[in-house]
């Protein structure tokens, strides 16, 4: 979002003085709800296939944590990764455009830390209110039929399929789109970068086809780099 020239504010929960937050661009405003531990994952990859462990989880973020001015933001992205965003957040921003990446609402942590999938009980309350919903094929591996269920609830939904591209569902019509070619270094975060880029590009361009092209190109660039370096530069945008 910074690379697109937007003013960016992040509501999160992490341990005090979390060094990852210090690595963010200085112009990003961060409100951290202090927790004993920062949410911590380990991702193990076999190509694009991921096995995930969660070792710590921070505090649940609720509407009352939002500064009143932030509820007036032009664009909002709800990005739970460990069921740490209260689904009631979907009602906190009036009719402003909201992008939802719901993977974190479909996870649980087993006693050994392994992350497994669970039914998403709040889908019928969240998806109809989201302007844009973005999921990956991994999010619903436990129940592939959820793709059709969710696409009927969401006004605009994109199902990403890594190097195979994805499917966009818009007003009940489905169509596939290709991925852009890339040399894979680290796929972590590519789906979030795709979703954020698509949300912003839709607002800027007002054209779904062009916005998807921008998002697939930026996501392809992201997998060629690791860590925070996967985020796009202003020049790439």
What are the tens digits of pLDDT across the range 30-58? Answer: 999 999 999 999 989 887 678 999 999 99
Residue 115: the pLDDT is 93
- The Cα–Cα gap between 50 and 109 comes to 15
Residue 206: the pLDDT is 95
Q: Model confidence at 228, in pLDDT bands (50, 70, 90)?
A: confident
Average pLDDT over every residue of 167-194: 92
- Cβ–Cβ < 8 Å for 133, 100: yes
């Amino acid at each position: 979002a910074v690379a697109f020239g937007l003013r960016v504010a992040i509501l999160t929960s992490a341990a005090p003085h979390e060094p990852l937050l210090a690595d963010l661009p200085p112009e990003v405003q961060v409100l951290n709800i202090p927790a004993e531990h920062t949410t911590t994952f380990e991702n193990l990859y076999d190509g694009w296939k991921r096995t995930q462990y969660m070792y710590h989880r921070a505090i649940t973020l609720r509407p009352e944590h939002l500064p009143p001015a932030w509820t007036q933001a032009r664009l909002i992205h709800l990005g739970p990764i460990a069921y740490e965003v209260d689904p009631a957040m979907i009602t906190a921003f009036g009719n402003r455009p909201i992008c939802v990446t719901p993977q974190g609402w479909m996870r649980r942590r087993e006693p050994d830390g392994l992350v497994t999938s669970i039914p998403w009980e709040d889908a019928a309350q969240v998806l109809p209110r989201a302007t844009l919903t973005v999921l990956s094929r991994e999010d619903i591996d436990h129940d592939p039929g959820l793709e059709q269920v969710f696409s009927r609830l969401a006004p605009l939904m994109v199902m990403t399929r890594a190097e195979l591209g994805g499917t966009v569902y818009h007003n009940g019509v489905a169509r596939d789109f290709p991925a852009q070619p890339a040399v894979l270094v680290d796929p972590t975060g590519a789906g979030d970068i795709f979703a954020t880029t698509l949300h912003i590009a839709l607002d800027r361009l007002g054209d779904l086809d062009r916005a998807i092209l921008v998002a697939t190109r930026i996501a392809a660039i992201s997998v060629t780099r690791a860590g925070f370096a996967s985020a796009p530069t202003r020049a790439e945008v």
